[in-house]
Chains A and B, each alone.
Chain A
Amino acid sequence: MNGTPVGTPRPLVGITLDGKAVKVPEGSTILDACRREGVDTPTLCWAENLTPVNVCRVCVVEVEGSRVLVPSCSRPVEEGMVVGTDTERVRTSRRMVFELLASSVRMDRSDADVLDWMDHYGARPERMGARDEIATVAQPVKVQDDLYVRDYERCILCYKCVEACGDDAQHTYAIATAGRGFDAHISTEFDVTLPDSACVYCGNCIGVCPTGALVFKTEHDMREEGTWDESAQEVTTTVCGFCGVGCNLELHTQDDRIVKVTSPADHSVTHGHLCIKGRFGWQHAQS
């Protein structure tokens, strides 16, 4: 009676991906198929531990017979589907999305792969005009406590933090989007401060933020001082020292000090999500 039950094997679906015939399990998304086949596909609002919300549109691909480009992160494959990921139309669209976002949002502290994609697609946000001449989301950084800062000048409204706070991980629902157009922003209920909101400071929002809008206070301070140096950092996977759940921690260290903590999204125990103690309660390792 022991052993891990596995699901019923899924039938394979045949599709054409960039001219190549491939077979992928039924129910996979086009993005899954791309990853299986090693086709590098940019994403901003997608994460392996979140439900796709289809808002960023950088993962779009061309599907034969479809009038518009489709988001690969959420579109399931169908038998006989013909998918193009590197067509002129796809490349233009991806470049435009990066350019539009980066013209109004500071993206220079984004994840390394985001910066690589912007480079790869030749995104030139300055085409939209000089930053001081066009509308941007520039605003002061919110530093309210010692744990993390919210730098909404860097927020592309990808919804990942909202998803991680809500149905996809924490079920706390402390934040949502509010406002329209350039006033659209992530807000607590009635815009109260975080300690007055439902927030439990799990930091799962930081864990999923792709652009550096939500970062550890340590990272923010070191970047401001100019001492943040990812090339000098090591990442060590260990197990949280607090309760008995067994969450895995990735300790990011620089100069023999912990500078931030993440958790592997592909680990079966908590799929990348942590609580306040595991994510922030490591100062006793420095004393």
Chain B
Amino acid sequence: MWVVDPRRTTSARFADVWLGLDVGTDIALANGVAREIIDAGLVDDEFVEHATEGFDAFAAHVEPWTLERTAEVTGVPVEAIRDLAHGYATAPTAQLMWTLGITEHHTAVDNVLSLCNLALLTGHVGRWGSGLVPLRGQNNVQGGGDMGALPNKLPGFQDVADDEIRARFEAAWGHTIPARPGWHLTEMFEAMERDELKAVWVIGENPADSEADINHARAMLGRLDHLVVQDVLMTRTAQMADVVLPAALGWAETDGTVTSSERRVQRTRAAVRPPGQARKEIDIIADLADRMGADWGRPSAEELWDELRSLSPMHGGMSWERLESEGGIQWPCPDEDHPGTPFLHGRLWERPVGGRRAPFSCVDDRPPVDGLTEEFPLRLTTGRALDSFNTGVQTGQYNSPIRSGEAIDLSAADADSLGITHGERVMVSSRRGSIEMTVAVDPDLPVGLAFTTFHFPEQADVNQLTCDAWDPKSGTSEFKAAAIRVQKLSAQVHA
């Protein structure tokens, strides 16, 4: 196990090798690893020939990424890069797993493509035990996309711009569906700024705490004509709302399904009654449909699921009974005799290759948007702690004995040079905002890097600092790379 992370995380401690790369140099590292795999003759030539396209151009593209240059750009020693390249290429099976350290950058999609290149070079894809594994941070973030909660997709990842597909949904729903894709979350905030988006209905999300450059995001939510928030607790976003629709908890108060990281659809079941006026979300939505003049009845979770199965081919074989008796099924599962699909892209090994060949991508690293300067000399990266969850809406409700409150972690050398000690209150500033925080000196943190979670916005409103530059391909903001300065409170007063 190799762990690539700017910080020496708990996972890094478990690993055989930790590669502590500089923030924002993921593509450089992947290109360097690719070049070493090619240079050392470790490419799975047969797979590349059979199932991929664009290898020659890719090989030429990564040719300049010698081990030495890669080491210089990433800060990872030559030996460690070589070790990773050889270990990955020669393993009988190998997986590349990642989470937001790859995707919360303005180069998010390119970061992912640079990893896909490595899987294609080595044939570590589409086989049992090998693959590319984006680990999901929420219990149904996969299911949300599967159900069509994306601006350009209908349920089952079917393209909204496809006339034939749209016609099937229109026939089932008895209504015309706009062919034009909608906005994703980041675009919605831009549309709010242009006054093109005037009313928003937020379901189970707390953007007033979770967005990058939060002062700006709150200002945008504040200028809406109408804000409706449907949630299980009174979040900061709910406090800003004109109307709050109290909702039942998905996992403990509602029957339904969620889909995990591995595309496994599983049943959730109501165990307790929702408190007070909280209601099942299906009922809330159906009631609103009533008010809008559409009669949707009061469908059960199973009835809605069956409707989905009739429209989304990849869910077609997942009957409610099978989900009950088999303890979850992985999509695609097109018919009732299909066992479900433990891994994807097996088609690349079929002879002849099933469908389109997988393309190599020539991508380059681009430094974080929020540049380091004398004024903002430290790199701040945000992340999660084991016992807490995102903006702390749920996990703020239980007392974890391993929680010590929000702090900004600094390396011992940076703390020393700033004359700051462990536990001291400091002012942390970025180009977007300033907040007071408590310092925790982390002896494992590289010089120049600072870290904090954002689980306690009431204690430390960390997203005032983060950068909302976003990847045009994914819409995700660069939470992982803000430029900050840290000042002693006394110095700040004199400044």
Contacts and interface: CB of A to CB of B under 8 A. Distances in A.
A237 interface: yes
Given A242-B139, A244-B137, A257 B272 contact: yes
A239 B395 CA distance: 16
Interface in B114-155: 126-128, 135-142
Interface in A1-29: 1-5
B481 interface: no
B139 A244 contact: yes
Nearest to B143: A244
Nearest to A280: B398
B271 A238 contact: yes
A285 B398 contact: no
A280 B440 CA distance: 26
A80 interface: no
Interface string B271-307: 1110100000000000000000000000000000000
Interface residues of B, number: 56
Interface in A184-216: 194-195, 199-201
A275 interface: yes
Contacts of B434: none
B342 interface: yes
Contact of A244 (B142, B349, B350, B399): B142
Interface string B387-411: 1110001110111111000000000
B47 interface: no
A147 interface: yes
A142 B8 CA distance: 33
Interface in B58-83: none
Interface centre among B272, B328, B386, B395, by most A CB within 10 Å?
B272
A132 B387 CA distance: 42
A287 interface: yes
Contacts of B158: none
A238 B268 contact: yes
A93 B260 CA distance: 47
Contacts of A1: 126-127, 346-347, 349-350
B400 to A, nearest CB: 6
A240 B271 contact: no
A201 B400 CA distance: 8
A281 B399 CA distance: 9
A275 B387 CA distance: 8
A1 B139 CA distance: 28
B252 interface: yes
B387 A277 contact: yes
Contacts of B395: 242, 277, 281, 284
Interface string A10-54: 000000000000000000000000000000000000000000000
A253 interface: yes
Nearest to B338: A2
B343 A147 contact: no
B262 interface: yes
A269 interface: yes
B249 interface: yes
B92 to A, nearest CB: 14
Contacts of A242: 138-139, 389, 394-395
Given A241-B394, A284-B233, A258 B271 contact: yes
A135 interface: no
B266 A246 contact: yes
B389 A277 contact: yes
A217 B284 CA distance: 35
A217 to B, nearest CB: 10
A245 interface: yes
A201 B401 contact: yes
Contact of B401 (A145, A171, A239, A277): A145
A102 interface: no
Given A3-B339, A246-B266, A268 B394 contact: no
B252 A282 contact: yes
Contacts of A144: 401
A233 to B, nearest CB: 11
B251 A284 contact: no
Contact of B272 (A194, A258, A281): A258
B230 to A, nearest CB: 16
Given A3-B339, A239-B139, A241-B139, A267 B327 contact: yes
A275 B386 contact: yes
17 contacts: A1-B126, A3-B339, A5-B128, A147-B398, A201-B400, A237-B269, A239-B258, A241-B394, A243-B136, A244-B141, A253-B272, A275-B386, A276-B402, A277-B388, A277-B395, A281-B389, A284-B393
Interface of A: 1-5, 144-147, 171, 194-195, 199-201, 234, 236-246, 248-249, 251, 253, 256-258, 267-269, 275-277, 280-285, 287
Interface of B: 14, 126-128, 135-142, 232-233, 249-253, 258, 260-262, 264, 266-273, 275, 327-328, 339, 341-343, 346-347, 349-350, 386-389, 393-395, 397-402
Given A3-B339, A242-B389, A284-B394, 13 more contacts: A1-B127, A144-B401, A146-B398, A201-B387, A201-B400, A237-B267, A239-B251, A239-B268, A242-B395, A258-B272, A276-B387, A277-B389, A281-B389
